[in-house]
Structure 1
C-alpha cells in the first residue's frame, strides 16, 4: 500500500516538475543535468532535480509507463523503503557515470528519470529473472531483455551520437541491481547466472572507459551511418550544443569588435542567455 502511494507521488512529481519545465526555459535550465553547473559551480542538486525534468511529453509518458509497469514487481519483493532507496540511488548513480564520461564536455546536459527507472527495471530482473517483459510487443524473459538493454547502452555510449543519455541508463541499471542484491543476498546465489550474463558486459565496458579513455573515441563508417537516428535525448542535447556554440560565437565577436558590432538579434540572444544563467 505504501509503495503504491510512493509510486503515485513519484509519477505526479515528475509530471508537475516536467510540465513546469516545458513552459519555463529558465526553470528548465536551472535544474537540468549540466556538467559545468555541477563540477564548476557545485550545483549538486542537479543530480536529482534533472531526474524530474523531461525533454517532452513523449519522453515523460514513456518513462512514467515504464516506472508504473515495473515498480509493481519490485514493490512486491521489497519494502517501500527499499524501493525508494533503489529509485534515488540509481538516479544519482546514473548521473555520476554520465558526469564522469562527459567530464571534459562542460556544455553537456541532459534530463530524464531514465537512470532511476533503469535501476528499478534491473533490480526487478535480478530478483525475478523470469519476469516477462514485452519489447515492441514481443514477449521475452527478463534476463534476455536485460542483456539486450546492456549491449544497446554500451553501443550508445561508444558511438557518442549527439551526447545520447545511454550512460545514465547503464549506470542506473547497474546500481539498481547491486542495491537490490545487497537487500536480498539470497537472490545472488539463486540467480547468479542471469546476473553474470547481464552485468559482465557492463562492468567490462566501465573498466575499459576508466583505464583506456581512448576506447570511447570511435570514428568509422558503421557509427557514422547511424548518426542520423535521433532520440528525444539526442535532439535536446544537439539543440543545447548548437545554442551554446552560437553564444560562444557572439562572445568572441564582442571580444574582437566590441558590443557595438552586435546585431539586434545577437543582442537579444545574449540577453536571453544572461537571464538563463542568473
Structure 2
C-alpha cells in the first residue's frame, strides 16, 4: 500500500475541511522532525518561534508571515488533538449550511483576528508591559467557526457525552465565557486569540445576512495564487503534442461508488438546508445541483 499516494489523493479530492486538517497535521510533523535535528545538534529550537506570532511589535515587523503561519502551529500532541477534533466537529456543522470557500475564509480571517486581538492587548494593557510572549495554535480559528455556525443556526442541538443534547448557541457561549475568564487565570494570549476568533465569527455571519461576504476577497486571492503556482509548474513540464481521448474513462467499482457517495452526501446536505432555511437560502450552484439531480 502506497501511503504517500493515498494521502496525496485524499488531500486533492477531499473537502476544504479535510485539507485544513491535513495541513495542521503535516505542519506539526514537519516541525517536530526538524526539531530533532536542532536537538541532536545541541541547538535551540528556533522554528517554533519563527512561525509563531510574537507580542513584541519590533519582532512582528520582521516576521510578517506569523499571523497566518501561527494558526497551523501547535505546542504538543494534545494541543493539536483538541484543535483538530474541534475543527472537525464544528467544521462539519458549518458545511451543512455553507460551501467550503466560506469555511476557509472564516478559518483564516478568524485566526488573523485572533492574532490582532492578542498583539493589541499585549501592547496596550499595562499588565503585559514586561511580558514577551508568542502565540500559536488553531483554537482562534476553530472558535471563529463555532461562533459563526452558532450565530447562523443557534437552535441546532448537538450531543455531549454524559450530559445530553444542548443547543449550539449555549456551547458557543460557554467557550467564549471560558476564554474571558481564562485571560486572568491562565494562557492570556491564547484566550485573547479565542475572543478575536469569536468576534470574527459573529461579524462574518452578521455581514453575510446583510448580503456582504467579507471573506470572498481572501478566497479570490488564494485561488489566483493557486492558478499562478500551477502555471509555474507547467513551465517545467515537457510538452507533449500527442492527444489521447477516452470516450469512456476507465474506473473501478471503488471509484464509482466513491463518486456516487459524494454526490449523495451533497444532495442530503442541500435537502437539509432547505428543510431548515427554505429553498431561497440555496446558492445558485446548489440550485443547479438539485435541478440536475431532479432530471
TM-score band (shorter)? Answer: 0.5 to 0.7
- With CA pairs under 8 Å and 6+ residues apart, which has the higher RCO, 1 or 2? 1
Match of 1:7 in 2: 17
Alignment of 1:10-25 (within 5 A): 10-23=20-33, 24=35, 25=45
Give the one of 149, 173, 179 matched to 1:147: 173
Q: How does 1:1-278 map to 2 (within 5 A)?
A: 5-23=15-33, 24=35, 25-36=45-56, 41-103=61-123, 104-105=129-130, 107-135=132-160, 137-138=162-163, 139-157=165-183, 159-185=184-210
Post-superposition offset of 1:20: 2.1
Q: Return the alpha-carbon distance in structure 2 between the equivalents of residues 171 and 3 of structure 1.
A: 32
Q: What residue ranges of structure 2 are gaps of 5+ in the alignment?
A: 1-11, 36-44, 124-128, 212-295
Q: Which runs of 5+ in 1 are unaligned?
A: 187-278
Segment drifting more, 56-65 vs 147-156: 147-156
Structure of higher CA gyration radius: 2
1:92 Cα deviation (Å)?
Answer: 0.1
TM-score by length of structure 2 reads 0.57
DSSP 3-state at the match of 2:46: helix
* Aligned-partner SS, 1:41: helix
CA distance in 2, matches of 1:41, 1:181: 32
In the alignment, the residues of structure 2 paired with residue 70 and residue 170 of structure 1 have an alpha-carbon distance, to the nearest angstrom, of: 17
Structure 2 equivalent of residue 234 of structure 1: none
**1:110 Cα shift?**
2.0
CA distance, structure 2, for counterparts of residue 165 and residue 97 of structure 1: 10
CA distance 1:73–1:90, shift in 2 (3 Å): same
SS of equivalent residue, structure 1 residue 140 = strand
Instruction: Provide the rounded CA distance (Å) in 2 between the counterparts of 1:4 and 1:92.
Output: 24
By how many angstroms is 1:178 displaced?
A: 1.1
Q: Is the 8 A contact 2:118 2:189 kept in 1?
A: no
CA deviation vs aligned residue, 1:153-191 (integer Å, no higher than 9, x gap): 11111x1535451111111011012112222349xxxxx
RMSD, aligned CA: 2.5
How far apart, in 2, do the equivalents of 1:113 and 1:120 lie? 11
C-alpha separation in 2, matches of 1:101 and 1:26: 25
Asked if the contact 1:115/1:170 (under 8 Å) is kept, the reply is yes
Task: Output the CA distance in 2 between the equivalents of 1:32 and 1:43.
Answer: 9
In 2, Cα distance between equivalents of 1:120 and 1:3: 22
